[in-house]
Chain A
């Protein structure tokens, strides 16, 4: 009912805003996207349906402005996969097809405030730091939005204040986020991002069960516990853009703090988890990134040293009158994530982009970091009316010593057609070949073909 009220509110307010557009300098733009994905296995079952109306209001008044982004979207699952199992699910305003209204961004900019040469921004905002494509080890202020895991690189806006100071050729940016927001996760997040559990010290595997009680411990809403801040110094040196950044905040994905379980059988072949407490440890990140040009090609690189809060997990296993207690250090040492990339456009318009990444955003701790090679080959045809991406994807290697059993290859070729200005029709495939356990391996049975139609207005 609350969602419906919000939806009605937007629908009612839109004409009112448009009527006053001229008077207040308010402008709206946006786009509508309809996307369907079909599995190539399992009888071509529909795996994802999304309808999204993206509205972006913008208002300017002298040396200030307002920028927003609202999403009105369907949840992304076909009705048959939407946990509908009861006849009551067919009743009510949100059934059988529900819509969500979300404020992705809404912020005010005050230019030359509080002093000349300073810009102040307050509100929900995307703070995109780093030079990498899709993934940036130094981009650590906004929580990840992993609801649609295949739309990788999405981040949630953070409710923050930002002050940028421009003394000469350098920029000093300070960000303060008063309240912690965790990442948004897909329904099957435990399968995908199973939080690092204390298996190292235990000779037996831990078994997650459907009935495992998961307790989430969010930090208290005090500034000391919940807030995050970031500082960035950027400038140009020798033709290259350089940034040095520092972030003090919390991981947006949870880690295991306490575990309670019992042996699954008298032979003690495993521990069934009864209760798992998750929390979001603090971490400080010192980052460096650069972008520039080398022999005509665009080049960029980043490195970020993570200094995690020391995390010791306590595992309590019921075993007779005296429970077995095991303490495991999950995070205790600094670790380094980095990437390097290059792109080039050949005279015939063929565009190539390559990027090597050591450590994806969800990976933590030196032992957890894996290697990824991102690649893309694009060509625009027919005066920009057609874009062909014959080769794009990711190669993930977990163990260089034994590649054939520890890799994932994702190929995502697609073709886009722009029949008229503002309209885009895209047809593509997500094809995954993998061996071993990795994030992408979880999707190896989910090869998909997708069709997306987008109209911008």
Chain B
């Protein structure tokens, strides 16, 4: 509660935020921690989203899903449409423990980390992208550049981090510590994907990108993620982030 009040205070007095970055020189690690704080500030989140997948020829297909997140280490994603994917649910828990529920088989399957590089339900987001993000815990940042408005960080996986990416280049808005663009490189250091975050706005005091787009540079495809409904701090129970709830 004290943390929320403090964040609210910061947001109500914008003058305190922007100079904070300018007045004291932040290290790359401190910037990354602030990004994590921004992204995972709400106690819980419930987001309904539309996904528009565009293939290399420009053909579009659509998905609908709901995302629940609690804190910075638990997330559940459930597909609502199309019909052949409705009910497919993905649960991400601390300690790299992930489950997938496939309604057609009435069975919950544990997913090993080798699946992380696979596209999630045909989108350009992989299972790894769908996991809860806590960059500072998994990535070693290096400050590459700084402008009046942005930090440019380069992230390398820390030892023990299971990832399909060799490095990330993240452009971060200095005023709100929000990543607006992430370039993903594969382990051969080839450009792999680019995610851009748009329509960044405050909802209930928390910063959110209403729309984002993930482009697969190799496949020539892209997936647009549009948040149609966002709710924060609704008191999501721990029960939602269990295998029990996964199959409901």
Does A239 lie within 8 Å of B248, measured CB to CB? no
Choose from A298, A299, A422 the contact partner of B111 (Cβ within 8 Å): A298
B22 within 8 A of A: no
In whole angstroms, how far apart are the Cα atoms of A54 and B82 in the complex?
Answer: 16
Chain B contact-residue range equals 35 or more
Interface flag for B25 (CB, 8 Å) = no
A 102-129 binary contact with B (CB < 8 Å = 1; else 0): 0000000101000000010000011010
Q: Indicate whether B115 reaches chain A with its CB closer than 8 angstroms.
A: yes
A126-B106, A164-B244, A421-B61 given; A296·B117 CB < 8 A:
no
B83 and A383 form a contact (CB under 8 A): no
**Is A297 in contact with chain B by the CB < 8 A criterion?**
yes
Taking CB atoms, residues of chain A closer than 8 Å to B55 are 382-383, 385
Is A29 in contact with chain B by the CB < 8 A criterion?
A: yes
- Docked-complex contact B248 and A345, CB < 8 angstroms: no
By the criterion CB–CB under 8 Å, are B107 and A422 in contact? no
Interface status of B197 (Cβ within 8 A of chain A)? no
| A residues in contact with B186, CB < 8 Å | 347
Cα distance, A250 to B56, chains bound together (Å): 55
A328 CB-CB contact with B under 8 Å: no
Q: How many Å from the CB of B170 to the closest CB on chain A?
A: 22
Q: Are A456 and B83 in contact (CB under 8 A)?
A: yes
Cβ A29 vs Cβ B86 within 8 A: yes
Could you mark each residue 96-108 of chain B with 1 if its beta carbon is under 8 Å from any beta carbon of chain A, else 0?
Answer: 1100000001110
Contact of A422 among B53, B84, B95, B187 (CB under 8 A): B84
Instruction: Flag if A345 contacts B106 (CB, 8 Å).
Output: no
**Per-residue CB proximity of B143-164 to A under 8 Å, as 1/0?**
0000000000000000000101
CB distance from A297 to the nearest CB of B (A): 6
Question: Does chain A have a CB within 8 A of B112?
Answer: yes
Nearest CB on A from B122, distance (A):
4
CB distance from A454 to the nearest CB of B (A): 9
The distance from the CB of B161 to the nearest CB of chain A, in whole angstroms, is 12
Do A345 and B97 touch across chains, with their CB atoms under 8 A apart? no
Instruction: Tell me whether B82 and A422 are in contact (CB under 8 A).
Output: yes
Q: Total contacts A to B, CB within 8 angstroms?
A: 81
| Residue in A65, A126, A297, A383 whose CB lies within 8 Å of B114 | A297
By a CB distance below 8 angstroms, the chain A residues around B113 are 293, 296
B86 touches A345 (CB 8 A): no
Whether B118 is near chain A, meaning CB under 8 Å from some CB there, is yes
Closest residue on chain A to residue B55 by CB atoms? A383
Asked if B119 CB lies within 8 Å of chain A CBs, one says yes
Q: How far is the CB of A382 from chain B (nearest CB, A)?
A: 8
- Smallest beta-carbon distance B193→chain A, Å: 13
B84 contacts across to A, CB distance below 8 A? 31, 421-422, 456
Chain A residues closer than 8 Å to B106, beta-carbon distance? 125-126, 128
User: Is the pair A239, B95 in contact by a Cβ cutoff of 8 Å?
Assistant: yes
B111 touches A383 (CB 8 A): no
Q: Determine which residue in B61, B112, B162 has the highest number of CB atoms from chain A within 10 A of its CB, and name it.
A: B112
Q: Are B162 and A241 in contact (CB under 8 A)?
A: no
Give the shortest distance, in Å, between B179 (CB) and chain A (any CB). 25
Q: A385 to chain B: which residues have CB within 8 Å?
A: 55
As a 0/1 sequence over residues 194 to 231 of chain B, the CB contacts with chain A under 8 angstroms (1 = contact) are 00000000000000000000000001010000000000
- One digit per residue, 1 when the CB lies within 8 angstroms of any chain B CB and 0 when it does not, for chain A 284-297 equals 00000001110011
- Cβ contacts under 8 Å, A421 to chain B: 61-62, 82, 84
Given A296-B162, A383-B56, decide whether A291 and B110 contact each other with a Cβ distance below 8 A.
yes
Q: Are A128 and B107 in contact (CB under 8 A)?
A: yes
Interface centre among B55, B106, B162 (most CB of A within 10 A): B106
Q: What's the minimum C-beta distance from A248 to chain B, rounded to whole angstroms?
A: 22
Residues in chain A near residue B140, CB distance under 8 A? none
Contact of B56 with A345 in the complex, beta carbons under 8 Å: no
Partner of B110, one of A166, A292, A296, A349: A292
Residues of chain A within 8 A (CB-CB) of B118 are: 345, 349
A171 within 8 A of B: yes
Q: Please tell me if the beta carbons of A298 and B82 are within 8 angstroms of each other in the complex.
A: no
Q: Quick one: which of A109-151 are within 8 Å of B by CB?
A: 109, 111, 119, 125-126, 128
Q: Shortest beta-carbon distance, A117 to chain B, in Å?
A: 9
Once A128-B106, A456-B84 are accepted as A-B contacts, the answer to whether A166 and B242 lie under 8 Å apart by CB is yes
A291 to B109 CA separation, bound complex (whole angstroms): 9
Q: Is the CB of B112 within 8 A of A298?
A: yes
- Nearest A residue to B109 via CB reads A291
Q: Is the CB of B117 within 8 A of A345?
A: yes
Q: Do residues B114 and A344 form an inter-chain contact, with CB atoms below 8 A?
A: yes
The reply to whether B114 and A239 form a contact with Cβ atoms under 8 Å apart is: no
Is B242 a contact of A296 with CB atoms below 8 Å? no
A297 x B248 contact (CB < 8 A): no
Q: How far is the CB of A328 from chain B (nearest CB, A)?
A: 39
- A128 CB, nearest partner CB in chain B, Å: 5
Chain B nearest CB, measured from A172 CB (Å): 12
Whether A400 sits at the interface, judged by CB under 8 Å, is no
Report how far A296 CA is from B62 CA in the complex, Å. 31
Which residues of the other chain, B, contact A456 by a CB distance below 8 angstroms? 82-84
**Is residue A258 within 8 Å, beta carbon to beta carbon, of the partner chain?**
no
Say yes or no: B83 contacts A239, CB within 8 Å: no
B83 and A298 contacting across the interface, CB-CB below 8 Å: no
Which of B61, B96, B164 has most A Cβ within 10 Å?
B61
User: A128–B105 contact, CB under 8 A?
Assistant: yes
The reply to whether the CB of A50 lies closer than 8 angstroms to some CB of chain B is no
Separation of A55 and B96 alpha carbons in the complex (Å): 36
Question: Apart from A128-B106, A296-B114, A345-B114, what 9 extra A-B contacts exist at CB < 8 Å?
Answer: A119-B244, A241-B110, A298-B112, A298-B114, A343-B112, A349-B117, A383-B219, A383-B221, A422-B82
B: which residues have CB within 8 A of A?
A: 53, 55-56, 61-62, 82-84, 86, 95-97, 105-107, 109-115, 117-119, 122, 162, 164, 186-187, 219, 221, 242-244, 248
